[in-house]
Chains A and B, each alone.
Chain A
Amino acid sequence: MRKDWANALRVAGLVVLLSSAHSLRAEYLRVELRVYGLDCELCARGVSESVQRMPGVKSVDISLKTGLLEIVLAPGNNFKMSDLRKRIRENGFRPMEATVTARGEFSGPKFQVSGSNESYDVAKSHPKDDGPIELTFDVR
């Protein structure tokens, strides 16, 4: 009986360890980024195929008329906004403002995206519950 309890505790500990490791993964969920300079189908294709190859990217949609790049990310990704902006510049275009949906928590006045080193000043009220939340915010 005592041995069963010990085994159960070990399994529980492992589960906690695994879930905490999972929470270290970045939790960007969706990004809508305005891109300047895209004028033709080949330009859009170059950006789309390049972004599609970034780790964690589930789907990419791009509009030449609005210059809007829409990215849906798989849960538990290693995605970083700084990498995305760098990728756009490498394609010869200019990343502008973005609307981001991500999981994270407030650290003081900043919203820290879970599992990443990226945080943002978010013009939203600090929630009373300090746990991780899903938030959509604009990034300039």
Chain B
Amino acid sequence: MLVVVTCVILFGERSVRADGHGPLFGYSTTLLGSGDASIGTELDWRSGVYMLGPEFAYGVKPNLQISITSPFHLDHGEHPTGRYMAFMPGDPSVEFLLGWRFLHSSTGIATRNEATFYVGVSALTQEVPRADGAPLARQPGLYGALAAGHVARSYDVWVGGGYQHYARWTSNVDDHQTDSLLTSFVVGWRPSFLNGDYPKTDVRFFLETTAEKVGLAQRDYGPTSGDGEHGGPPPPPNPNGIVVLPNSGGTGVFSGPTGLLTHGNIAVQGGILFALLDEPNGTQKHEHYRVAAGFTYYFLGRHK
């Protein structure tokens, strides 16, 4: 697996993480100018789950950005599979995301206050195997998020939250994934000894904290076939007639350091978040940490 991952990283070296300009896991505002673009890739590792996510982003207008992300599994696991990163779906899928920076106030030299509203739609590209039964219906995915931040030369602060809804258009599947919620708080810091002037390699560090609640899987068409837990009978329906599948969903809070290095038109990011709270339901595996690394190439100054 490591060989595969290494090859994929090397192969993907020319590409980029579309939002490789701020936090790695958490929310931030759009960044591309009108006509600017970026391509990239990001590798995520969740205690045994490997995902690689190619991304492309384009600045339609100064405050309007579109991006396409298509993460896929190199290896899957048994963790709750809801949204756990701000700008990448938690499942192998293709997502179109539109970001509107509705608040943009440059208040001084190197300082800005910004807020962006995101809306996205996604469709699965790979099935996500499940130990307890058939893959869950979870598409199309509909995503809405809000991010706000204060940016300065020596520090940044970002807050955000997003809601991921999973529809159930998949036919012949009774079980479906319910919605998930993700929030984040990020503090960025550029040490004074790295606070050089342009043109110079730029380095920033972030302390990122994410909190997520992944919804339970449900079977709301009645207990027909399938298992409730490792071959056992499904649990009885609740008063609303919905059968809740026990080994699904969960709650987690993760926090840790990430770093961003930009040089020329290239950005490289990496970081690790540790579990402060990890409560997966049922017999799903616990996560102790999450690792991500990204590489982004920017096409700048391409105004007509």
Interface residues of A (CB under 8 A from B): 34, 36-53, 62-67, 87, 89-94
Judge if B152 is at the interface, Cβ distance under 8 Å.
Answer: yes
| Closest chain B CB from A132 CB (angstroms) | 31
In the complex, what residues of A have CB within 8 A of residue B35's CB?
Answer: 90
Q: How many residues of B sit at the interface, in one of the four size bands?
A: 35 or more
- Residue from the list A45, A52, A64, A87 in contact with B153, Cβ < 8 A: A64
* Cα–Cα distance between A52 and B303 once the two chains are bound (Å): 11
Q: Digitize B260-290: 1 where CB-to-A-CB distance is under 8 Å, 0 elsewhere.
A: 0011110100000000000000000000000
- Minimum CB–CB distance for B102 against chain A, Å: 13
Of the 9-residue stretches B173-181, B193-201, B213-221, which lies at the interface with chain A?
B193-201
**Given A36-B111, A46-B298, list of 19 further CB < 8 A pairs?**
A37-B107, A38-B109, A39-B153, A41-B201, A41-B263, A42-B21, A42-B202, A42-B262, A45-B198, A45-B301, A46-B36, A48-B198, A48-B301, A49-B301, A50-B33, A53-B303, A63-B198, A64-B198, A65-B195
Q: How far is the CA of A64 from the CA of B152 in the complex (A)?
A: 11
Q: B49 an interface residue at 8 Å Cβ cutoff?
A: no
Beyond A49-B300, A50-B303, A90-B303, whether A36 also contacts B33 by CB under 8 A is no
Partner of A40, one of B21, B32, B34, B265: B21
A-B contact count (CB 8 A): 108
CA distance A90 to B60 in the complex (A): 10
Say how far A26's CB is from chain B's closest CB, in angstroms.
19
B82 → chain A, closest Cβ, in Å? 31
Q: Which of B32, B33, B36 has the largest count of A CB atoms less than 10 A from its CB?
A: B33
Residues of chain B within 8 A (CB-CB) of A43 are 31
6 nearest A-B pairs in the assembled complex, by CB-CB distance = A49-B301, A37-B106, A41-B202, A36-B106, A67-B109, A50-B301
Complex Cα–Cα for A50 and B33 (A): 10
Binary flags per residue of B177-214, CB closer than 8 Å to A gives 1, else 0: 00000000000000000010111111010000000000
Q: In the complex, A17→B35 CA distance in Å? A: 40
CB<8 Å pairs between A and B, sample of 18:
A36-B106, A36-B111, A38-B109, A38-B110, A39-B111, A39-B152, A41-B200, A41-B263, A42-B31, A45-B265, A45-B300, A50-B302, A51-B301, A65-B197, A67-B110, A90-B35, A91-B34, A91-B62
Q: Give B51 Cβ to nearest chain A Cβ, in Å.
A: 25
Contact A39 B62 (CB under 8 A): no
CB <8 Å contact, B300 and A42: yes
Q: Which residue of the partner chain B has the closest CB to A44?
A: B198
Residue among A36, A46, A66, A90 with the highest chain B CB neighbour number at 10 A: A46
* Pairwise interchain contact B63-A36, C-beta atoms closer than 8 A: no
Interface 0/1 of B102-144, CB less than 8 Å to A: 0010111111100000000000000000000000000000000
In the bound complex, CA of A24 to CA of B296 (Å): 44
Which single member of B31, B109, B301 contacts A36 (CB below 8 Å)?
B109
B151 at the A interface (CB under 8 A): yes
Complex Cα distance, B101 from A95, in Å, reads: 18
CB distance from A90 to the nearest CB of B (A): 4
